[in-house]
Amino acid sequence: MREEGGLRVSPFSRREFLYLASVLPFVCSPSAWAAQRKAQTGSGTWQQTLGVLGRAYQAEMTAHEHYVGYTQKALEEELGNVAYLFHAFSISEKVHAENYQLILKGLGTEVERAVVRLQIADSRTNLRRSAIKELEKIKSLYPDFLRELEGESHEDAIVSCMYSWKSHRQHEQKIKELTKYKGFFVRAAVSRIERVKLDFHICMVCGATLDREPTSPCDICNRSLANYRKVEAPA
């Protein structure tokens, strides 16, 4: 998302939107989606869309703030790779939140950050909690948001939600593995993370997060390599 001359400029081409619309039926009924889009595009109120975007913004900011706290805790515990992982996720979540904020601004709504009590524990607990939260987003939060957006079919809102959802899904398998560890075994999972070589890069358009240097355009938003930012390990 970007702004030019005070006007919001959609970063999504029509071709990209059509592509994303073609995968939307995984969460929405295609016929209902098409019919409602035709009926309601241009309604000008976007009440439901504003509600979803507001909740999505708060959810992503809450995740961002937790990851910032988790990073700090991991550094205190001298778990460099865990801190690096949390730091990369914190940046990705911020990209998602800012995308929603920008769409809301374009719709004339300034969103205020809600006050949230952060729950920061030890790194092993933080890792397990974050894995559970990520799975919630993948399995229920984003599919629900997309179903709700179906009614008004605001193009940028749907595309932005799809980007966030797909970016979270990039690590679904790894996250599932993490949630299997309990008690003593979480320690083993942390040790494993600490042994691998990580080199995080984040697409600043959609929040896609890679743990290696990208060699091709973003898998999620299809933007060029130039949109990736290398994430430096926190100190």
Name which position in 82, 203, 210, 231 contacts Fe ion (CB under 5 A).
Answer: 203
Using the rule CB under 5 A, is 162 a contact of Fe ion?
no
- Which whole-number Å values give the CA distances from 114 to 50, 161, 193, 210, in the listed order? 16, 20, 33, 30
Query: What does the alpha-carbon distance between residue 175 and residue 178 come to, in Å, rounded to a whole number?
Result: 5
User: Which tokens sit at 90?
Assistant: 């914190």
- Which whole-number Å values give the CA distances from 168 to 8, 64, 75, 174, in the listed order? 25, 13, 24, 11
User: Which tokens sit at 48?
Assistant: 């439901």
Q: With CB under 5 A as the contact rule, which of the stretches 15-23, 25-33, 152-160, 205-213 interacts with Fe ion? A: 205-213
The residue (of 43 and 224) whose beta carbon lies closer to Fe ion is 224
Query: What does the alpha-carbon distance between residue 149 and residue 46 come to, in Å, rounded to a whole number?
Result: 9
Query: What does the alpha-carbon distance between residue 15 and residue 72 come to, in Å, rounded to a whole number?
Result: 41
Using the rule CB under 5 A, is 205 a contact of Fe ion?
yes
The residue (of 123 and 170) whose beta carbon lies closer to Fe ion is 170
Using the rule CB under 5 A, is 211 a contact of Fe ion?
no
Position 111, amino acid? V
Using the rule CB under 5 A, is 206 a contact of Fe ion?
yes
The residue (of 60 and 152) whose beta carbon lies closer to Fe ion is 60
Nearest-CA neighbor of 164 among 203, 133, 207? Answer: 207
Using the rule CB under 5 A, is 159 a contact of Fe ion?
no
The residue (of 186 and 211) whose beta carbon lies closer to Fe ion is 211
User: Which tokens sit at 137?
Assistant: 């987003």
Name which position in 65, 93, 134, 211 contacts Fe ion (CB under 5 A).
Answer: 93
Name which position in 79, 82, 208, 210 contacts Fe ion (CB under 5 A).
Answer: 208
Binding to Fe ion, residues 57-86 (CB under 5 A): 60
Q: By the criterion CB under 5 A, which residues form the site for Fe ion?
A: 60, 93, 96, 164, 203, 205-206, 208, 218, 220-221
